[in-house]
Amino acid sequence: MMKFNALALAIASLAAPAVYAAQENSAPLEEVNVTVSPLDKPADAVAAPVSILSGNALRSAASATLGQTLQDQLGVANASFGSGVGLPVIRGQSANRVKILSDNLDVADASNTSSDHAASIEPLLAERIEILRGPAALRYGSGAIGGVVNVIDGRIPTVVPQELEGALELRHNTADSQDASVFRLGGGAGQLAWYLDGVYRENGDTEIPGLAILEHSDAHEEHEEGEHEEGEHEEEFNTDGFVGNTNARAHSYSGGVSRITDSGYIGLSVNRLRNNYGIPLGTHEHHEEEEEHEGEDHDALEGHDEHSGPEAVRIDLAQTRYDLKGEHRFDSDYWNKLRVRVGYNDYQHTELEDGAPGTRFTNQAWEGRVELTHDSGGEWRGAYGLQLLDKDFAAVGDEAFIQPSRTRSAGAFAMKERAWGNWHLDLGARLERVDIDPQAASERDYTLLSASSTLQYFFAEHQHLSFGATHSERAPVAEELFANGAHLAAGQYVLGNSDLDKEAAVNLELGYHHHNEQANGWHALRFEANLFYNRIGDYIYAQNTGEVDSEEGLPIYEYTNRDAIFYGAEVSATLPLRETLYLTLFGDMVRARFDNTIAGESSYVPRMPPLRAGLALGADYDRWGWEWRTVQAADQDRVGAFEEPTDGYTRMDLSTHYNFTIGGSDAVFFANARNLLDEEIRYSTSLLRDYAPAAGRSFEAGVRFIF
């Protein structure tokens, strides 16, 4: 596999004009204010690195999981756990350091407790996804110390449609024989607006170009054999051409209504989600008689999987979510807007072992936030906010490795900014209190302080240089403190540590941004470059101890504190070659190591994404467009304790769309080809990379009717 030199990549990327592939085309882009900023700022003006995925680009990228949907975004990787679970990794950070939001409120599911738990959100229903790369604890709390993914769905209308609006989308993907259908419908009259949406998707097992389970090196095999008593080691089950037990069925439906006036709006929405997905076979050692894989229909969604050799584990997820959203615009020379968001989530999932209910996870959580913005038209403008969270989490069953606990937090923040001449300054601070009350242990409480400062210099309206410094703190969560037991679905024996200290991170960021869509030729290029350095004191992670629990036969992972350093770079550039043709070059990298060296242990933070570089060539005409994209990922040999290196890969994709009208309504046909080289791709960020590679060559086609 090709080896990359990080310096050479940075120089080559900086020297080459290009565009990042998140943009739909090279034509002038509509300016969209990002909601991750309370001050109604466009993405290009926000001091922190922000990406927006929307329109045709979102329709092309959208998949069953959030991680897979965002895996091609700058600085974002996918922590997959088979095709049913994919969580975003931002600059090497994930789980309790990356906050997944549903329209600016926490999804409040169980995706941060274990790598096999899916995020309870449907990317196929998203109108727009905002990705904030870097610390966002100032506004969203300590769970956003590494970044934010904000999924905007439009469930609560903010304007009254002039007439009935809607969309219907149908798509099929050969990667796992997935069929999906999506609908949206909205209308209103007078001051009332309403909204409905829904999605149904079903897929079989993921098809791959070879064997599912990777043959291990001799050293790794010796470690694996240590998981069995002498004479009890069984031959490892494997599948060829598919990943067993990765079929799934899911549906989600929402309804919302709002009252809208000249000075604001107030609205409510309800969402119901069900998701039943399988955990890839071979991740644990409860084997049964191996049966042959027969036919192409692998849709055994209930009970024992027909072709499972090992015990088939599935997750049956159900969620009901209620949201309230309101905004009031003041008729004042100082105060601008008052925003209110309240959400309540009733979440549960049951781990099914060969169809029999096992451990049941529940999370009943409510969150509220109030934000007040001001803009006097003078030197300073800003926002003040208050955020409250109450979460009641429990795991019940034979393999309940986390004891029930209640977490309450309260945070207050202030953000200020001012501009003078070519300079722009952003300041902010947050004070937060977190209390964790477990059922069978002493209560833990933490006081957290976060602060940030960013200075921008605008060479012109369309280009600026920025430097930011952020201090963020994160409290350990219940599973990191109190876990103790076997988790079959993840194939781990997990031990918490009640003596964990809070994390304290200092992040330095240097960025350059250029955009000038109104210009022509070379002057219209979009260019973005970011360098970051993040030092995290008392970094919390689940350390692979190299030991095996004697009763369960599972490797023991124990949470611990250890100072860590993350640093890296992101570069993207886009250049219109002709009126409709554009070229994109991009690359990103992150390196992560522990600050203190321990004899006999790896100094690298586990499961880091590899260095990536690529290019995209595309065009957008009046009715149709296309993009050919190639990504080269380097080998990942900077691995954590008891991890194997991961081979690099080359992934080539092609996406197209064609706009047409039918019956007086707009419609778009889209077709995508993924992994055209049929490469065996195993993501270094995945705990299951040795068991569940990404899908092989696949084709997706769909049509979306808009009326």
Q: How many CB atoms lie within 10 A of CB 358?
A: 18
Distance between CA atoms of residues 21 and 616, nearest Å: 7
**Nearest Cα to Cα of residue 510 among 467, 469, 470:** 467
The pLDDT mean for the chain works out to: 87
On the question of pLDDT at 693 being above 80, the answer is: yes
Residue 142: helix, strand or coil by DSSP? helix
Distance between CA atoms of residues 246 and 301, nearest Å: 10
DSSP single-letter state for residue 96: G
Q: Is 335 left (phi over 0), alpha (psi -120 to 50) or beta?
A: beta
Distance between CA atoms of residues 456 and 553, nearest Å: 55
Distance between CA atoms of residues 582 and 617, nearest Å: 6
Helix (H) or strand (E) run with residue 13 in it: helix 6-15
SS3 letters for 247-262?
A: CEEEEEEEEEEEEEEC
**Beta strand extents in 515-554 (DSSP E only):** 526-548
Distance between CA atoms of residues 613 and 650, nearest Å: 10
Residue 55: helix, strand or coil by DSSP? helix
- Looking at residues 617-643, what average pLDDT do you find? 94
Query: What is the residue type of 580?
Result: T
pLDDT digits (tens, 9 = 90+) for 86-110: 999 999 999 899 999 999 999 999 8
- Looking at residues 130-149, what average pLDDT do you find? 91
Question: Residue 224 corresponds to which tokens in the numbers above?
Answer: 């694996």
Query: What is the residue type of 271?
Result: N
Question: Residue 123 corresponds to which tokens in the numbers above?
Answer: 């990317």
pLDDT digits (tens, 9 = 90+) for 355-407: 888 889 999 999 999 999 998 777 899 999 999 999 999 988 877 888 999 99
Q: What is the pLDDT of residue 34?
A: 81
- Among 245-249, 276-280, 294-298, 510-514, the minimum mean pLDDT is found in 294-298
Residue 157: helix, strand or coil by DSSP? coil
Q: What is the pLDDT of residue 95?
A: 87
Q: How many CB atoms lie within 10 A of CB 665?
A: 12
662 by Cβ neighbours in 10 Å (0-12 / 13-18 / 19+) ranks as exposed
- Looking at residues 275-300, what average pLDDT do you find? 57
Helices (H) and strands (E) in the chain, counts: 6, 35
Q: How many CB atoms lie within 10 A of CB 104?
A: 22
pLDDT digits (tens, 9 = 90+) for 25-49: 333 344 567 887 888 787 777 878 8
Does residue 138 contact residue 413 with C-beta atoms inside 8 Å?
yes
pTM beyond cutoff 0.85: yes
pLDDT digits (tens, 9 = 90+) for 168-198: 999 999 999 999 999 999 999 999 999 999 9
Q: Which residue has the tokens 């992670």?
A: 541
Q: What percentage of the chain reaches a pLDDT higher than 70?
A: 88
Domains and CATH numbers, the chain: 6-706 (2.40.170.20)
- Among 104-113, 175-184, 259-268, 281-290, the minimum mean pLDDT is found in 281-290
Angle among Cα 587, 588, 593 to the nearest 5 degrees reads 150
